[in-house]
Amino acid sequence: MATLTIARRFRGPAQSANGGYFAGCVAAHLAQTVTVRLLRPPPLDTPLEVQTLPDGTLAIVLGEQQIGSARPATLTLTPPPAPAYFEAVEASRHYAGFRHHRFPTCFVCGTERPRGDGLRIFAGALPERGLVAAPWVPDASLEAGDGKVRPEFMSAALDCPGFYAVSPDDRMMLLGEFTAHLNRRVHIGERCTVIGWRLESEGRKHGAGTAVFSEDGELCGSAQALWIEPRDE
């Protein structure tokens, strides 16, 4: 029986996994581009059963509860041009999370995570471009053993900038679906730029696109996410 356990280091909210990291770990079981649906907050330090269903989709379950699912997908998304690396550095100075952060220990965007522990991707607004952007230089703890970043960490990097693209006013939203495609894995120590931009919105549902670029503007990965405002917020 295949299982998946999310270590506490890779949390988003204090008691559940970062959604992008969880999606990347699930995608590794199918070794292809997939759409991951999060049905409940993925618990930490808890073995989850990964079931392969007759139609080729995956179900991630804990006891009688289904935590998430995954199905093969094709990502059709055209990212806007990448801002320059130092333009992203300047944008990150205006990161909304520096003023208030709902989840300050988030593995991806938490301000309380030290270097070498969290990704520290602080995406700030570039209003003239209609997107948010942040610099990212992957550290050695993310290495897959070949000098490059493990796929699940690239998936994680593509998560939180999407939130800040669709919720500049810090409305509470939860990740509902996530589809990531990697063009290439970036190298440890490579200067990268991560961006997020708004797609369509309908009621409580908000679409976001995200992308990771190399310093010279090469597209290394992209993702499309569905963010949902809880009814009780």
Q: What is the pLDDT of residues 84-110, one digit of tens each?
A: 999 999 999 999 999 999 999 999 999
Residue 111 is which amino acid? Answer: T
Q: What is the mean pLDDT of the chain?
A: 95
Bin 178: left if φ > 0, else alpha if -120 < ψ < 50, else beta: beta
Output the pLDDT for position 233: 52
pTM for this structure? 0.95
Distance CA 200, CA 41 (A): 24
For the chain, how long is the longest CA-to-CA vector? 50
Taking residues 55-65, report their average pLDDT. 93
Q: Is 7 exposed, middle or buried (0-12, 13-18, 19+ CB in 10 A)?
A: exposed
Q: State how far the Cα of 194 lies from the Cα of 211, in Å rounded to an integer.
A: 6
CA-closest candidate to residue 12, choices 101, 115, 123, 140: 101
pLDDT of residue 170: 78
The tens digit of pLDDT for each residue in 123-181 reads 999 999 999 999 999 999 999 999 999 999 999 999 999 999 999 877 899 999 999 99
- If you average pLDDT over residues 187-200, what whole number do you get? 97
Give the domains, in start order, of the chain with CATH numbers.
2-72 (3.10.129.10), 85-228 (3.10.129.10)
